[in-house]
Amino acid sequence: MATKKFGIVLDAKKCLNCKACTVACKFENTIHPGEDDYRIWVTELELKGTYPNISQEYQPSQCQHCENTPCASVCPTKATYKSPEGVVLIDYDKCILCKACMTACPYDARYENVHLHAIDKCTFCYQRQPEGREPACVETCPTRVRVFGDLNDPESEASKLLARNHTYQLKPERNTRPRLHYIK
């Protein structure tokens, strides 16, 4: 059996900017208050068109779990590593807080977790894996913007969405090969 390859396919057009995902993430992962402390975000993109024909789109995002992983290559202690499913994780005990990974990440996905005294970021709620549960942001979204799954399994809903739609990735010019795919 081929190894699993976790990823998320997002249909941002469905996003209501309700921020339920960001709240669910904070609860699931005990994220403390603080301006810089967040794992996921929902950006209100610039308005398109001219009045009265205006449209507004939102862009929910988080760590892209890059296949080419700039944050891991610069980490001197291998605190940043990849799980067998390609989820980019941090071994908090090994993190020296040099912040090289923060400066290397093209998506500004990392922050300093003061309580863990280490760098932190989205883990696809890896702690839920043993139970087979989806990440909190995926589970909580009222319009199912995010679909999480094994991109190596052609039968997974995520793979099917990826096959059926034209998709794009953020900052492809950085050659990071993100595991987040946005439906066009």
Interacting residues toward another protein by CB under 8 A: 17, 19, 35-36, 38, 41-46, 58, 70, 72-79, 93-100, 102-108, 110-112, 114, 117-118, 174-176
97 counts as binding ligand SF4 under rule CB under 6 A: yes
Nearest Cα neighbor of 121 from 26, 40, 33, 34 is: 40
> Other CB atoms closer than 10 Å to residue 49's CB: what's the count?
9
Long-range Cβ contact pairs of 132-139 (< 8 A, separation 24 or more): 135/8, 135/28, 136/21, 136/24, 136/25, 136/27, 136/28, 136/29, 137/21, 137/22, 137/24, 137/25, 137/40, 137/60, 137/62, 138/8, 139/24
> By rule CB under 6 A, what count of residues binds ligand SF4?
42
88 counts as binding ligand SF4 under rule CB under 6 A: yes
Q: How far is the CB of 89 from ligand SF4 (least distance, A)?
A: 10
Q: Which does 93 bind (CB under 5 to 8 A by kind): another protein, ligand SF4, none?
A: another protein
Per CB under 6 A, which region of 26-34, 44-52, 101-109, 159-167 contacts ligand SF4?
Answer: 101-109
- State the DSSP H helix or E strand holding residue 167, giving kind and residue range, or none if neither: strand 167-168
Q: How far is the CB of 164 from another protein (least distance, A)?
A: 28
Closest to ligand SF4 by CB, 31 or 145: 145
DSSP 48: B
Question: Cis before residue 76, ω within 30 degrees of 0?
Answer: no
DSSP 173: G
Which positions touch ligand SF4 (CB under 6 A)?
15-21, 42, 60, 63-66, 69-71, 74-75, 77, 79-80, 88, 90, 95-101, 105, 107, 109-110, 119, 121, 140-143, 145, 176
